[in-house]
């Protein structure tokens, strides 16, 4: 089923906001000036961060993929206590539905966008970019594009559900 991207972004806006906030916080962490932040809007992209071109290639990569880490961890933590009552105990409370919605929304926006990939690509093209950065960077770009392609087949939603719902159940299965 095809649903326009902006509608999905609006329906899962908490994830978009967290994604952009993560970019901004990584910029702040690496002391990179930020010129504009759009946390959510109707359009493509649904949000963005405009920042100074980063000299340190590692920092640039971290700013690009930072939301992947932040959204994944945050999505998993938010959904953690709700996933069990809902899917293990069959006994959810209203707050559990909210937590699952938030957890899935946040986790499904973990994937960096193709704009983030282009940003890394610009760095990798430069001759002075070191070999380790290239070794890490090219697969990261490949994965970002694969994720972007997969989003046509709801890969981002599947990832969100896997993080928010699958992870707690996996932990329980491993510990039990």
Q: Where along the sequence are the contacts to another protein (CB under 8 A)?
A: 14, 17-21, 23-24, 27-28, 31-35, 37, 39, 45, 47-55, 63-64, 74, 77-82, 84-85, 88-91, 95, 98-99, 102, 106, 113, 115-116, 119, 122, 168-169, 171-173, 175-176
Nearer to another protein, 72 or 119 (CB): 119
Burial class (CB in 10 A: 0-12, 13-18, 19+), 56: middle
Provide the minimum distance between the beta carbon of 132 and another protein in the complex, in angstroms, as a whole number: 22
Length of the chain, please?
176
Nearer to another protein, 93 or 131 (CB): 93
Nearer to another protein, 18 or 141 (CB): 18
Inter-axis angle of helices 94-108 and 57-87, to 10 degrees?
150
Provide the minimum distance between the beta carbon of 135 and another protein in the complex, in angstroms, as a whole number: 22
Provide the minimum distance between the beta carbon of 77 and another protein in the complex, in angstroms, as a whole number: 5
Nearer to another protein, 11 or 28 (CB): 28
Provide the minimum distance between the beta carbon of 44 and another protein in the complex, in angstroms, as a whole number: 9
Rounded Cα distance between 104 and 109, Å, is: 9
Provide the minimum distance between the beta carbon of 121 and another protein in the complex, in angstroms, as a whole number: 12
CA distances 103 to 75, 139, 174, Å, are: 4, 27, 21
For residue 74, what is the enclosing H or E element? helix 57-87
Residue 37, SS3? strand
Rounded Cα distance between 128 and 144, Å, is: 23
Nearer to another protein, 54 or 131 (CB): 54
Rounded Cα distance between 26 and 175, Å, is: 34
């Amino acid at each position: 089923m095809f649903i326009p991207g902006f509608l999905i972004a609006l329906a899962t806006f908490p994830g978009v906001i967290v994604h952009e906030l993560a970019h901004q916080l990584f910029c702040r962490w690496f002391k990179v000036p930020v010129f504009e932040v759009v946390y959510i809007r109707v359009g493509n992209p649904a949000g963005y961060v405009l920042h100074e071109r980063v000299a340190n290639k590692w920092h640039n990569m971290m700013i690009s993929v930072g939301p992947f880490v932040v959204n994944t961890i945050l999505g998993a933590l938010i959904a953690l206590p709700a996933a069990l009552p809902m899917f293990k105990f069959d006994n959810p409370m209203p707050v559990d539905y909210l937590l699952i919605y938030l957890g899935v929304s946040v986790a499904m926006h973990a994937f960096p966008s193709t704009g983030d990939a282009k940003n890394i690509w610009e760095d990798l093209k430069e001759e002075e970019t070191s070999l380790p950065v290239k070794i890490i960077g090219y697969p990261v770009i490949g994965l970002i594009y694969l994720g972007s392609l997969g989003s046509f087949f709801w890969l981002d939603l599947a990832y969100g559900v896997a993080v928010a719902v699958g992870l707690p159940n996996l932990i329980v299965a491993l510990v039990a």
